[in-house]
Amino acid sequence: MKELRKYYRIKGTPEEIYASLVNPFAISLWTGANAEMSEEPGSGFSLFDGDIEGVNISFEKDRKIVQEWFFGDQDKLSIVSITLRPDRHFTKIELHHTNIPDEAYDDMVDGWDNYYFGGLKDFFEK
């Protein structure tokens, strides 16, 4: 199992970025794919037409999202924490993703950089 900690900076307020990560309509706009999402702790979510699925653990409005991501049958939970902080006209984003299966690690890094936060950055900065 591996762990990933990365930082991103996207033009927009924490409120705008947060809304784009929790509103299923907004998620569909920047991903171009179907999304199911709710800010209800314990609710399931699905992103990128079901390529990513899991359970929402907790939310701090405009500040933090914590989720469990599913990787099939594994003993340890894979937890994703996304923390948002204002930085002038930008938002600093800290990603912490734990218990990534070794065989999925490179794909996860690529996915975070190019599709998840890369897609969000493209959406906000075009």
* pLDDT per position as a tens digit, 91-105: 999 999 999 999 999
The rounded percent of the chain whose pLDDT value lies above 70 is 100
Tens of pLDDT, residues 71-124:
877 788 999 999 999 999 999 999 999 999 999 999 999 999 999 999 999 999
pLDDT band at 126 (very low <50, low <70, confident <90, very high): confident
Question: What does the DSSP assignment read for 32-94?
Answer: SS--B--SSTT-EEEEGGGTEEEEEEEEETTTEEEEEEP-SS-SS-EEEEEEEEEETTEEEEE
The rounded percent of the chain whose pLDDT value lies above 90 is 94
CB-CB neighbours of 65 under 10 Å: 20
> Which residue from 79, 33, 34 is spatially nearest to 56, judged by alpha carbons?
79
Average pLDDT of the residues of the chain: 95
8 phi/psi in degrees, rounded to 5? -130, 160
Structure tokens of 63?
């500040």
The confidence score (pLDDT) of residue 72 equals: 78
The confidence score (pLDDT) of residue 79 equals: 97
